[in-house]
């Protein structure tokens, strides 16, 4: 897990970091470090370039992989959105790897900088819907967002899980694209919630090599072999989708299970004892063997 912290000993901006698009912005609002455990993997400086635009100077450590740096950039962008509520974020780095990772964090190139336009749906809901990394964790506050004939609060756990999984896989897309893309296939206006098999097909089309399992024992076995995925489980009279990410010790982070709970960790067996007590258990997982 990557943590973003204010710099205790602020790092120094270099002259080459301050391209003309940023040089008139004055001193940065703050300087940040992004760490995995205690290892610094990237630095970020936040500028205000206009009333509705922030800029993010992003400096990456040389030995880190593009995948880890993509995660760090996504976290930094989410932090800026959450704290400053801009309509646009501009980012710049002298590192050529920025050209590979920025598009997967929803930035598009314009000259020497990359721009992310914050989707309108983001500001229709509370910041509390998201954790520090930008994953959705509070469906209960998402009534303003539609899903089929209903609100996301009532029927949206399927598209939320898909959004979180695509972000986990480094294929982030907007909330609106995800919800509308799935609801177009719901012939009943999502009255019955998201169809599991349509969700599998949708994620295949997005390039995820998912495998499926049915029944609690099979779901637990596949979960242990996967990097991340989506679990559909039943409780009482209802069913719920949750994206998960497997940790190094075999336990999992689960998203949007307990509304508003960030960093919720359970091992697969205890999760079913605590939450998945009903008959339904269906899983789509991305095996570790196919994750580069």
CATH of the domain at 79: 3.40.630.30
Q: If 0-12 CB within 10 Å is exposed, 13-18 middle and 19+ buried, where does residue 89 land? A: buried
Residue 206 to residues 152, 166, 169, 180, 182, Cα–Cα distance (Å): 22, 8, 11, 14, 12
Q: Are residues 12 and 97 located together in one domain of the fold? A: yes
pLDDT given for residue 131 in this prediction: 94
Per-residue DSSP letter, 134: S
Would you say residue 15 lies in a domain?
A: yes
260: its two tokens? 């508003």
Last residue of a domain, one of 74, 89, 118: 118
Last residue of a domain, one of 118, 138, 158: 118
**How many domains, in total, are found in the chain?**
2
Q: Are residues 96 and 140 located together in one domain of the fold? A: no
91: how many CB neighbours lie within 10 A of its CB?
23
The whole-angstrom distance between residue 292's C-alpha and the CA centroid of its chain comes to 18
pLDDT given for residue 189 in this prediction: 38
Each residue's pLDDT tens digit in the chain (292 positions)? 677 777 666 678 777 777 776 655 678 888 998 888 778 888 899 998 888 999 999 888 888 888 889 999 999 999 999 999 999 999 988 888 999 999 999 999 998 899 999 999 999 999 999 998 999 999 999 999 998 888 999 989 999 999 999 999 999 999 999 999 998 765 443 444 678 999 999 999 999 999 999 999 999 999 999 999 999 999 877 899 999 999 999 999 999 999 999 989 999 999 999 998 888 899 999 999 887 6
Q: Are residues 89 and 229 located together in one domain of the fold? A: no
């Amino acid at each position: 897990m990557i943590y973003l912290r204010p710099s205790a000993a602020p790092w120094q901006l270099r002259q080459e970091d301050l391209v003309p698009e940023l040089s008139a912005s004055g001193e940065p609002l703050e300087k940040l470090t992004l760490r995995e455990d205690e290892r610094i993997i990237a630095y970020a400086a936040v500028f205000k370039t206009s009333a509705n635009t922030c800029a993010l100077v992003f400096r990456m450590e040389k030995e880190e992989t593009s995948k880890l740096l993509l995660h760090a950039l996504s976290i930094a962008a989410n932090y800026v959105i959450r704290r400053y509520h801009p309509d646009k974020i501009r980012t710049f780095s002298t590192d050529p790897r920025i050209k590979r990772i920025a598009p997967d964090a929803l930035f598009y190139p314009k000259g020497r900088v990359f721009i992310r336009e914050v989707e309108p749906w983001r500001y229709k809901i509370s910041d509390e819907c998201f954790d520090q990394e930008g994953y959705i964790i509070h469906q209960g506050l998402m009534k303003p967002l539609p899903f089929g004939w209903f609100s996301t609060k009532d029927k949206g756990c399927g598209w939320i899980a898909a959004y979180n999984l695509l972000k986990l896989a480094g294929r982030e897309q907007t909330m609106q694209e995800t919800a509308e893309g799935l609801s177009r296939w719901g012939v009943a206006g999502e009255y019955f919630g998201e169809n599991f098999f349509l969700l599998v097909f949708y994620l295949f089309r997005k390039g995820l090599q998912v495998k499926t399992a049915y029944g609690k024992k099979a779901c637990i076995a596949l979960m242990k072999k996967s990097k991340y995925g989506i679990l559909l489980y039943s409780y009482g009279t209802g069913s719920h989708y949750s994206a998960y990410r497997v940790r190094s010790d075999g336990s999992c982070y689960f998203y949007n299970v307990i509304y508003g709970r960030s960093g919720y960790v359970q091992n697969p067996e205890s999760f079913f004892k605590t939450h998945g007590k009903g008959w339904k258990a269906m899983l789509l997982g991305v095996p570790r063997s196919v994750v580069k």
